[in-house]
Structure 1
């Protein structure tokens, strides 16, 4: 850590608008460094960074790099693999002789400055680790946290506490980023088939999770969901919902839009807990978060008091309207995530008609998981598909949203983004409407929030 940051006064982020990159940018800004960076498009997050004193530019041109960041003797450059390798700014730094550091490398360095509580998994990790950070922050334990989403309680993705030795980190499997971390606690929520553009097959994905767990310090702990298995690491405890194991929750009941449940764990038993966010999948997330919080020394009474106050994460089952049309937005972009969130809606409002608008994310993921997407979306009464959000990828011949449409058994439509609000206004007049996906579909959230709250 000291060697990398010796003589460094300025830090420049290529891809600063990403959720993980922006948390690091905020951290170093708080530490007194001059921080700036580039991102492809403005967003609510980059606008917030600008208000916090972080200079952001949006043209991928060499001349956009301010003079303060052009001296490799006192400037550290951090980039994300989501930025194309031919990025003009990235290429300029390479040609100028800068040593470039991946986001995951820098986060890995920070994870070794304290006791890192690392939550990984192909889905569920962001809500789980944000809840864990919220719980610890509300207790005598405290924590630092680099969140994988914007906490609705704190309106940020960074928490700092100089008095706490704990660091809550999202262990991201993309590009094998989590193999830079050194966990004090390693937790795994799921190992479903995903990121096959990186891993090639599920076996390689599981090998990476094995390697992540194996990086846990000797005195640390490994917690995983019951039903998963690790061959190379000793599992300290399994967790589940309504299934007896080392740490589990049962006696679930719904009161309003909240779940009430009992927790049974290796460290404590806590009856009649009330969760502040809806959805059965969030009881599962809470079970793991509680288990890790107890491991870190949080008291059961602190958990009972804090849990109902958790508001969730932006774009995770966020309810924006509760009128004639209930409008919900969610980040789900994997078949298992979509199935979980749609089943949660069906469980809580079984009598309401459900219309889901989904924007597939990545051509490779759409191609690899098209049957799974169709199966999960069939839980809805009607489906609206937007075009695939490419992110870092080039198109794959023959892969469009139509490959999902052709496999759906419910009424479905492909709608261009320019026609999307008008189509919804004309065709969704009752029940529940959901926007789902990890691309830029969230830019329609204010439009639909206004539409359905009139």
Structure 2
């Protein structure tokens, strides 16, 4: 949403809007001249917008709750309304575009593609779902009309079905958003529809173990990639000074690629990104340089503090598979240190649907602190709370904490490697935790 806000502002439009909570991102938007309010109250809607529907477009995310006063007022007064994904489709329909889809990995992979293209001198526009650490924004602006659009394609509410990519990446199709889809097969069907919308002559890069799930038309090329298997893979993978070093093996071999953003899942994401950019004209040397200078995405395996006494990493993971990949990578980076995980579950439905998986993946930590569930758009569900996860976590040292007591709880446990995990408002605690550790 904020990337679109920036795009419209860049193109001379007056932009205003609502968000539930104030964050560093909303403050950045305000400093750029975008009016934002945080109370769902009609009096905060811009007067110029209230005067007439003419020349006004209301863009909304399906994450907005159905009882939202502002959104319902716009509907009742017949304002033009479009979902975020529909607007993305409109903006990019006449551009050569790359769409990255997946239940996890899409933000990181799309940001990687943008950075590798920029490093290779290939003009692109990037609509990202997170803040690129290289560019400190989620909206990468193009230099020319012939730029390539790189789009994070969101499966929530089937949003990505508004897109018709020339190149598509599918990173994962693990069960998620079951409040929307009902079951995993319905979600996979939606991904198949997305793949079927790739333009003739296009290319699908798909994680190797998902390759057989997709049978696009014979006018579409399909290539599988994976950490150690597939037409595109890494070889000679090792950890050197907290970096992951590997040889890229695909249509060409590129030796000694150094990725300074750790995580086995990030190596896999980078394989896909390198393959896309190679097809778009990036040469081996620029790819190698791009990978080594890639700094990641805010809240994706982000090192907040690193010293001999304590390491603090923050991550956006909010699905059991993501948490498992993240914690396994942390363990391999710091094999002799105690790992303390703080997790804020996101959504009551997701906590209910994947309770067993959350407990299993969090058991990889030595110590676990759970916060209350972040509800986002949802109302509470009877019997669903963080206690549902706590009882099945095998780690002996585990507890539930309030946000108010979290820092004292962390200090009492004296962490060696501390990780905060979640997609809610846990990011507001990062700076206070960092200051406490220091």
Mark yes or no: TM-score above 0.5: yes
| C-alpha displacement of 1:321 | 1.4
Aligned twin of 1:290: 274
Aligned twin of 1:227: 209
Contact 2:318/2:421 (CA < 8 Å) preserved in 1? yes
Q: Does 1:302 align with 2:292?
A: no
Aligned twin of 1:415: 401
Contact 1:111/1:182 (CA < 8 Å) preserved in 2? no
Rounded to whole Å, the distance in 1 between the matches of 2:345 and 2:244 is 30
| C-alpha displacement of 1:162 | 3.3
Instruction: Describe how 1:54-453 pairs up with structure 2 within 5 A.
Output: 54-70=34-50, 71-163=52-144, 164-228=146-210, 229-234=212-217, 236-243=222-229, 245-266=230-251, 268-323=252-307, 324-410=309-395, 411-427=397-413, 429-452=414-437
SS in 1 for 2:126: strand
Moved over 3 A (4+): none
SS in 2 for 1:227: helix
| C-alpha displacement of 1:73 | 1.1
Contact 1:127/1:313 (CA < 8 Å) preserved in 2? yes
Rounded to whole Å, the distance in 1 between the matches of 2:21 and 2:162 is 28
Rounded to whole Å, the distance in 2 between the matches of 1:40 and 1:321 is 29
Rounded to whole Å, the distance in 2 between the matches of 1:42 and 1:430 is 29
SS in 2 for 1:149: strand
The superposition leaves residues 287-328 of structure 1 with CA deviations (integer Å, 9 ceiling, x where unpaired) of: 000011111111111111121111100001111112312111
Q: CA RMSD in A?
A: 1.1
SS in 2 for 1:393: coil
Rounded to whole Å, the distance in 1 between the matches of 2:214 and 2:46 is 49
The superposition leaves residues 214-267 of structure 1 with CA deviations (integer Å, 9 ceiling, x where unpaired) of: 110001111100110334415520001122x2111111111101111111113x
Aligned twin of 1:43: 23
Contact 1:145/1:168 (CA < 8 Å) preserved in 2? yes
Contact 1:317/1:341 (CA < 8 Å) preserved in 2? yes
SS in 2 for 1:341: helix
Contact 2:56/2:80 (CA < 8 Å) preserved in 1? no
Rounded to whole Å, the distance in 2 between the matches of 1:441 and 1:124 is 20
Contact 2:134/2:295 (CA < 8 Å) preserved in 1? yes
Rounded to whole Å, the distance in 2 between the matches of 1:200 and 1:69 is 37
Aligned twin of 1:52: 32
Rounded to whole Å, the distance in 1 between the matches of 2:214 and 2:17 is 41
| C-alpha displacement of 1:96 | 1.4
SS in 2 for 1:59: coil
Contact 1:327/1:448 (CA < 8 Å) preserved in 2? no
Residue ranges of structure 2 left out of the alignment (5+ in a row):
none
Contact 2:299/2:314 (CA < 8 Å) preserved in 1? yes
Rounded to whole Å, the distance in 2 between the matches of 1:101 and 1:231 is 29
Count of aligned pairs: 430
Contact 1:242/1:251 (CA < 8 Å) preserved in 2? no
| C-alpha displacement of 1:103 | 0.6
Q: More deviation in 90-99 or 327-336? A: 90-99
